[in-house]
A and B are shown apart, each in its own frame.
Chain A
Amino acid sequence: MHSYIIRRILHMVPTLILISMASFIVIQLPPGDMLTSKLAKLEEQGELGSESALEQVEVLRERYGLNDPLYVQYFRWIGNIILHLDFGESFTFEMDVIELLSERMGLTLLMTLTTLIFTWVVAIPIGVYSATRPYSIGDYGFTFIGFVGLATPNFLLALVFLFFQVSVFEVQSVGGLLSPEFVGAPWTLAKVRDLMTHIWVPVIVIGASGTASIIRVMRGNLLDVLGQQHIQTGRAKGLREVKVIAKYGVRIAINPLVSRLGLELPSLLSGAVVTGIVLGLPTAGPLFLTALTSQDMYLAGAFLLLSSTFLLVGNLLADIALAWLDPRIRYG
């Protein structure tokens, strides 16, 4: 088991390096750099003659090393991240990226993980229900809801939620993950409790399509497993049906779900980004959109790098969990 984990972690390193390079290239590609927009801003303000504005920008450009070749810039960027956890400075907000992003990224990941748990807790019982009563009315109902859930994009569901909140419940302060008095406050138990009362809306919005697909997978898997001989044996020797299903069926049918985590996490994170933007949550999503539209490269790059690292770690944990659940993988 240990050698498997070590092998798996070593396998991650080259991927991480490639990801960091790709993130850097993607944010470097737009013509001009973020100082171009800063220059435009300075000129617009008219506070500086364009000559001195140019000069100022040139100084900044030199200081951030934007005149260096691309690979030098890359190594400086990644070096600072690894050695000092310094993701650079955001030009739009004139703050350190890490300061700007840390709480929002934390909330985004928290939202993603909560949604993950939510989808599993909701979907697995429904999947079991559907598989044990295939082609019943309940099964058809859940299948239909599942199809609709898969076809509904996150932003649409978020809009529908907004619509109901505004027009039916007549709540005007929609969105937000925290009550106003807790915004910016230090993390206390009360703040966590407040967060929990707000987080369910985005969790349902993000989790809808994931729940739908897990129901379908769980139903299919369990149907396959229930047709196997060991189930028949279990029934033949007089085990209670609940035990047959739970211990002999679900226990096996759940393995493929764990291996699907690698597919599920990215879409949940994507959903968290979009939902954050639509509902105006204090998460990383809205910040990322702003960063992209204003060419705030260090901010956008940090988000891309952090979120894909999160996905890699998630995959690693899922693989370890699967290896723990299924001995064939450990020794395979």
Chain B
Amino acid sequence: MDKENLKSVERTAEPPVMEDNGSPAVTASYSQKRLIWKRFLRHKAGVVGGCIVVFLAFSFLFAEFLAPHDISRRYFQYVYLPPQGIHFFSEDGFQLRPFVYGIKSVVSQEDGLKRYYEDTSIKYPIYLFIEGDSYKFLWLFETDIHLIGTGKDNPLFLCGTDRFGRDMFSRLLSGGRVTFTVGLLAICLSLILGTTLGLISGYYGGIVDNLIQRTIELIFAFPSIPILMALSALLPPQWPSYLTFLGIVTVLSFIGWGGLAREIRGKTLAISESDFVLAARVSGAKDRRIIFIHLLPSMFSHIIVISTLAVPGFILHESTLSFLGLGIKPPLTSWGLLLSDAMNLHALSLYPWLLIPGACILVAVLSLNFLGDGIRDAAAPYSTY
């Protein structure tokens, strides 16, 4: 194997075009995994998106630890408090430990609204690993250590508070966790449904295929948001929060599997024609063996790509449902539900930080889209752009 040759291949901007008989030396030196990884790294937006998604996922996993407050803890003295600024400079000059100022509130005589001012005489230094509200760390053990905080009952509201004086930042972390989990569970459920039905549809054909395809057509005949709203409205209102959560996941997957099933069916039809499946059939392999040993593994990268690309859609749909009051119910919260507080002209004009959950949705969906694009481009390492 010629090292110089390999390097020159590596250096070219365009990925090498590989033909069936072409340059076996290069293919031999890179494993499939390595090729995919290299190609993914070349997709800059995808890499950035992937980093943001991983960062968000970890923050949501440790939401309670990262959040300074309990999500349902109400600070009645700080209702609709704007986001607090973190300071390094005071009249004493620079200090390394950041701090927030205390809060003075004045109720206006004219409109009866409470307005908040920084009280520069009081400083609350921000400490790491400080005691606060107790919570269960990773659902394992009880603890009250938070990453950041100003001590129990002291204010630290980085994204302001809502109409009950609950800390927005903590609620954003918790809501993000619900939003991401819904997306993840919905894609899992849709994949199970979509892959099974898509495989059956493509492999067996005939009446079953026809039936499944007509069902998908029927689902697609309805506009997505209205039919999702109608199905979510079916969930009994007396259900507890976590059951509604699972219900929403089910509703989303019930509408979402069709697209996946169609893609899987198309891929199955294409692969069923190929020589290795024919060879397996000729050598007497049973249907089950062909499906699970030959078809499914060769579709794996394809499945990963379409599912990554589908997650943002689920997240957007969940946000819309929760926003309209047909989705996640309190005490659980999600970004859409948090944003529904802003659907009020009065609140929107006075408390613009209520729009922060919207920015979160935007960033998360954008990153997921970029990640999906990157994975899609990387999954077919032998094709050109």
Contacts and interface: CB of A to CB of B under 8 A. Distances in A.
Interface of A: 15, 18-19, 22, 26-27, 29-31, 147-148, 150-156, 159-160, 162-163, 166-167, 172, 174, 266-267, 269-271, 273-274, 277-278, 288-289, 292-293, 300, 303-304, 307-308, 311-312
Contact of B223 (A31, A156, A163, A270): A270
B229 A311 contact: no
Nearest to A159: B342
Size class of the contact patch on chain B: 35 or more
Interface stretch (B88-96, B194-202, B231-239): B231-239
A15 B316 CA distance: 28
Contacts of B348: 159, 162-163, 166-167
Interface stretch (B72-80, B149-157, B272-280, B318-326): B318-326
Interface of A (DSSP majority class)? helix
Given A156-B339, A270-B226, A308-B223, A15 B217 contact: yes
Interface in B226-253: 226-227, 229-231, 233-234, 236
B349 A300 contact: no
Contacts of A155: 319-320, 323-324, 339, 343
B359 to A, nearest CB: 9
A15 B358 contact: no
A307 B349 contact: no
Counting chain A CB atoms within 10 Å of each CB, which of B214, B227, B236 scores highest?
B227
Contacts of B236: 31
Contact of A19 (B218, B320, B370): B218
B339 to A, nearest CB: 7
Given A150-B369, A153-B361, A304 B226 contact: yes
Contacts of A172: 345
A274 B321 CA distance: 10
B37 interface: no
B345 A308 contact: no
Interface string B311-345: 01000100110011110000000000001001101
A167 B316 CA distance: 26
Q: Which 4 A-B pairs have the closest CB atoms?
A: A270-B225, A292-B233, A151-B365, A166-B349
B227 A26 contact: yes
Given A19-B222, A31-B236, A307-B226, A162 B362 contact: no
A221 to B, nearest CB: 16
Nearest to A293: B233
Contact of B224 (A26, A162, A267): A267
Contacts of B218: 15, 18-19, 22
A267 B230 CA distance: 16
Contacts of B366: 147-148, 151
Contacts of A270: 223-226
